[in-house]
Amino acid sequence: MKSFITVLLTLLSVFSILKAVLPNKPKSESTPHYKYLIYTPNGYNSAQKKNWPVIIYLHGKSASGNNLNELKRYGIPFFIEGGMEFSAIVVSPQCPNGKNWTTENWFEPFYNELVSKYNIDTTRIYLTGMSMGGFGTWALGIKYPNRFAALMPLCGGGKPHEVNVLRDVPVWVLHGDNDEVVPIKRSEEMVNALRRGGGNPIFTVLKGKGHDIHRQYADISLYQWMMQYTNIRNSNTASSKKYKTDTLVTSMPKLKNKNISKKRATPEQTDTLKGKEYMLVF
């Protein structure tokens, strides 16, 4: 009996030592997977070796959830639904309810899935978004400054003290000066901080416009500006142009496609398409 107790105590002692020395096995966490809409351009063929540029569009809070059709109410998916065509792959992920674009590490698995499934030119990935998506554009750009070829946040904002990492990244910021949901100050402070750090962002102020500026996505010049850049910074000769004064715009782009009705182009913050109101709040 005495020898049995001795052996038991020895085993307990060894177990205690191993527990102290061996690292704890981390708890398994499920990898977040965000659903998305994807548009492939005319001529895209997954069997061919040609790689295509990619535009990633981040929606505002009112389109969050698990119904991808909500994304088509405004922004780039709205115009694609109306017949707008792109010479790029366009991907529109959907953020779950109760979260924003920085709540969890969704982007890495999302990006890896895109690269594995589609013919993508990884030097020409462009990020844009409005409202909550504008905040997400700033945040993801700061987190992955070498991943994106260019950034275009609309009516967003972020952390000015972190924006210096984007000094070599082409950035075009758009905001309405009458925005009562996300004040234009949020964009101004990001632009000013970036310029102080040596960056060269374009800042377009939409005179008299409020929070709903999604019709800017009908302007093809935005995409022409994007497409001139890659994430190989020394090849971006266009970024050397200095924008000494901010662009002031007094009118919105016209909806060229007849399939896009005026009703569907109503301001997002009073969208009543499904019998209820939506409000964009970050």
What pTM, to 2 d.p., does this model score? 0.79
Residue 280: band (very low, low, confident or very high) from pLDDT cuts 50, 70, 90: very low
Residue 2: band (very low, low, confident or very high) from pLDDT cuts 50, 70, 90: low
What is the tens place of the pLDDT at every residue in 148-170? 999 999 999 999 999 999 999 99
Residue 27: band (very low, low, confident or very high) from pLDDT cuts 50, 70, 90: very low
- Whole-number percent of the chain with pLDDT over 70: 73
Q: Which of 12-26, 119-133, 204-218 has the lowest mean pLDDT?
A: 12-26
Whether residue 227 is predicted with pLDDT greater than 60 in this model: the reply is yes
pLDDT score, position 47: 82
Whether residue 174 is predicted with pLDDT greater than 90 in this model: the reply is yes
227 or 9, which is more confident: 227
Indicate the CATH number for domain 29-270: 3.40.50.1820
Q: Which of 69-83, 159-173, 210-224, 268-282 has the lowest mean pLDDT?
A: 268-282
CA angle 192, 160, 223 (to 5 degrees): 70
6 strand-pairing partners: none
User: Which among 211, 156, 215 has a CA at the least distance from the CA of 189?
Assistant: 156
Whether residue 257 is predicted with pLDDT greater than 90 in this model: the reply is no
Q: What residues does each domain of the chain span?
A: 29-270
The segment with the largest mean pLDDT, out of 28-32, 97-101, 258-262, is: 97-101
Whether residue 252 is predicted with pLDDT greater than 70 in this model: the reply is no
Whole-Å CA distances, 15 to 2, 18, 24, 152, 189: 20, 5, 14, 57, 57
Q: How far apart are CA 7 and CA 156, in angstroms?
A: 67
Cα 217 to chain centroid distance, Å, stands at 14
Residue 105: band (very low, low, confident or very high) from pLDDT cuts 50, 70, 90: very high
Contact present, 75 and 57 (Cβ < 8 Å) = yes
Whether residue 272 is predicted with pLDDT greater than 50 in this model: the reply is no
pLDDT score, position 46: 82
